[in-house]
Structure 1
Amino acid sequence: MASGVKTRLEADRKIRRGLALGKYAPFHRGHQLVIETALAEMDEVVVLIYDAPDVTDIPLPVRARWLRELYPALQVIEAWEGPTQVGYTDDIMRAHERYIIDTLGISGITHFYSSEPYGDHISRALGAVDRQVDPTRIKVPISASRIRPHPFRYRDYLDPLVYRDLITKVAVLGAPSTGKTTLCERLAQQFHTLWMPEYGREYWAQHQINRRLSAEQLVDIAEGHLAREEALLLQADHYLFTDTNALTTAQFARHYHGAIPPQLAALADQAATRYDLTLVCAADIPYEDTWDRSGDMQRRAFQQQIIADLKQREIPFTLLQGTVEARAAQVAEILRHFRKYRNPPQPKENVVA
């Protein structure tokens, strides 16, 4: 075939443009099957993702980010003012159709992808093929409503990118010998989940020379700690309690070397916004004077520096005091009322220092 004829035929061929929609609360393997099928069959794929505050606390931008990062070829449209009612009455079906076609102006769709009965009326309204993908849930036997109450139980149906965002990340900070490790272990047992040990202690024991580490080694600690924490997020259930983070490592760099290396400063900045809750163990328990520590006076000074850094960064925190039992009870009360993405950070006026 002559190249000119081939070019005209290609130009005349109608672009195959697929559309899928949903709340994706959370986005699971069944949703992925629908989208991956569309990507394999279509020239272009549009995904409409609805705001759904009545169904999930996970903000729309977070759910949209999952789609964009997992499938960069998608055109993702965030539907902030879409209909919230679901069902198959004429009024409900027409409301959804008008929103898609009239309000959002979506057109040129040749195939509508779903695994739900609404595929029938939406595809007819669009003048598109009703492309059903695994409607009987044989290939992927799961639904978002089953996952929402028990994400850990169904984590195999969730991409790691999604699952990590469902875990409440709790940072437990404080100077050396303030009970962080003991508390994290206790909380992990109490909430049937995992905790992240302070990687710096392990690294220090292996690499210290005359009880000191270089500034570059402190960067290694922060990077190694973060990598291990990311791995544990995928195994945790609801909560991950983290003993220390890069904020503290940066304070060590400032104390021992007079400056914070740029890479460590960047990791500390990342840590400042990474955690859902920040807890500080008070220096109100007896000091354990082991050979790897610098004395109770240094503990108290370092504690003041940690708290000052949190205040300077405007990171809300709660100071935990008393016995490990009293501290664990205080954390349990905080978590009883806390919901990731729903609760604001602890109000600054309630911070104790």
Structure 2
Amino acid sequence: MVNATVGLTLGKFAPLHRGHQYMIETALRETDRVIVVIYDCPETTSIPLPVRANWFRALYPAAEVLEAWNGPQETGYTPDIMRKQEQYIFALLDGRQVTHFYSSERYGEHMSQALGAIDRRVDPQRLTFPVSGTQVRRDPYAARAFVHPRVYRDLVTTAVLLGAPSTGKTTLAQALAERYGTAWMPEYGREYWAAHQLDRRLTPDQLTEIAEGHLEREDRLITEAREVLFVDTNAITTYMFALDYHGTAAPRLTELADRAASRYDLVFLCMDDIPYDDTWDRSGEMERGIFQQKITADLQSRRIPFIPLHGSLENRLREAGRVLERYRKYDSVGKLWLEALEDSAFPKRSGTV
């Protein structure tokens, strides 16, 4: 492209917020190409660089994203620090020519001069979007109006509750949500089943609709969650019902179940050690025990770490609370599992933590 204009912006984007988006969108409007440099910054956030980079790739596929893994650690405006930052960007660009440098910070001056680019400051007083990364990190829930749902989803811990029918999942999910002042996702399959079942059965296509509808609601609901979203069942459960009803599952449902294996941060397995609630829509206590065994075996075969919850509601709240108090999304996950294994509250058996 003759005389193409190229915009460049850089930052930690920890996390990406509406102010950043306003700057990126301005660059996309004003230039032919946009390059976004994203720094690794473990001292600022535990959100991994690839997660932050993928926000841009998902929301702005036209932009070129460069992951800056070994950028200078020093920040400031001494001549030496500015020179190191500039030299690092030159090396990262690897010969790419930049015509416009986009920022809302003071460093825009020296960086644009070094690049020979137009110094394009966007909303430096934060008047259009009065938000900062520090504000979002301090309280993502309070600042969620300034965070895109695609980004906010990665700031919230998702905890799914699995188990056979009548193992207390719904009661516990609601109780946990109340205790932590957050949202919870009811089991969509129960609502769908009541409206569409025929002789207590659903077709393979209907079971797929349940899994898809559940995910759509879950994605909408997560923007209302404060720190953690509690989810009553997931696509793996629907997949297990398909096997139970039909001996097989539709390809789309199988795909959604496979995706569910890595979708949730924490998996709690409600055990079948509470009294069975023998309602007309259930298949009996013996079937509950068999289904519980199948769910457990499926989790083990998928190598999904899960935390069993036992006994009364208060005991389950206490067991789940111990895990939630220690858990930090993206941070020291392995340590949590080791601590859980040492905790007498968690049985030491294959597949559990």
Q: What TM-score range do you get, normalising by the shorter chain?
A: over 0.9
Residue in structure 2 matching 1:240, options 229, 251, 257: 229
Change over 3 Å in CA distance of 1:212–1:102 after alignment to 2: closer
The higher radius of gyration belongs to 1
Give yes or no for contact 1:100–1:106 (8 Å, CA) kept in 2: no
Whether 1:251 and 2:240 are equivalent positions in the alignment is yes
Letter in 1 for 2:119: D
Q: Aligned residues: percent identity?
A: 55
Aligned residue for 1:196? 185
Q: Distance in 2 between the 1:343 and 1:173 partners?
A: 24
Amino acid at match of 2:243: R
- Rounded Cα–Cα distance in structure 1 between residues aligned with 2:84 and 2:169: 54
Matching of residue 344 in structure 1 with residue 333 in structure 2: yes
Show the 5 A alignment for 1:304-343: 304-343=293-332
Change beyond 3 A, Cα 1:238–1:106: farther
The reply to whether residue 51 of structure 1 matches residue 9 of structure 2 is no
CA distance in 2, matches of 1:297, 1:221: 25
1:140-151 alignment runs, 5 A limit = 140-151=129-140
Q: Structure 1: where are the runs of 5+ without partners? A: 1-9
Name the structure 1 match of 2:22: 33
Q: How does 1:182-193 map to 2 (within 5 A)?
A: 182-193=171-182
Secondary structure of the structure 2 residue equivalent to 1:153: coil
Range with greater deviation from structure 2 (200-209 or 171-180): 200-209
**Runs of 4+ with >2 A deviation:** 102-107, 343-353
The letter of the residue matching 1:315 is I
Q: Which residue of 1 aligns with 2:168?
A: 179
Partner in structure 2 of residue 260 of structure 1: 249
Question: Which runs of 5 or more residues in structure 2 are unaligned?
Answer: none
Q: Which amino acid aligns with 2:240?
A: Q
Does 1:275 pair with 2:264?
Answer: yes
**Where does residue 202 of structure 2 map in the other structure?**
213
Q: Which residue of 2 aligns with 1:129?
A: 118
Q: Deviations over 1:214-249 (max 9, x none)?
A: 222111111111111111112111111111111111
Q: Distance in 2 between matches of 1:92 and 1:83?
A: 8
Name the TM-score, length of structure 2 as normaliser: 0.93
1:220-231 to 2 correspondences below 5 Å: 220-231=209-220
TM-score, with structure 1 as normaliser: 0.93
- Cα RMSD after superposing both structures: 1.6
User: Which amino acid counterpart does residue 108 of structure 1 have in structure 2?
Assistant: Q
Task: Report 1:69-88 matches (<5 A).
Answer: 69-88=58-77
Take 1:286 and 1:252, find their aligned partners in 2: how far apart are those partners?
22
| Aligned: 1:117 with 2:80 | no
Distance 1:320 1:102 in 2: 52
Mapping of residues 157-172 of structure 1, within 5 Å = 157-172=146-161
Secondary structure (helix, strand or coil) at the match of 1:108 reads: coil
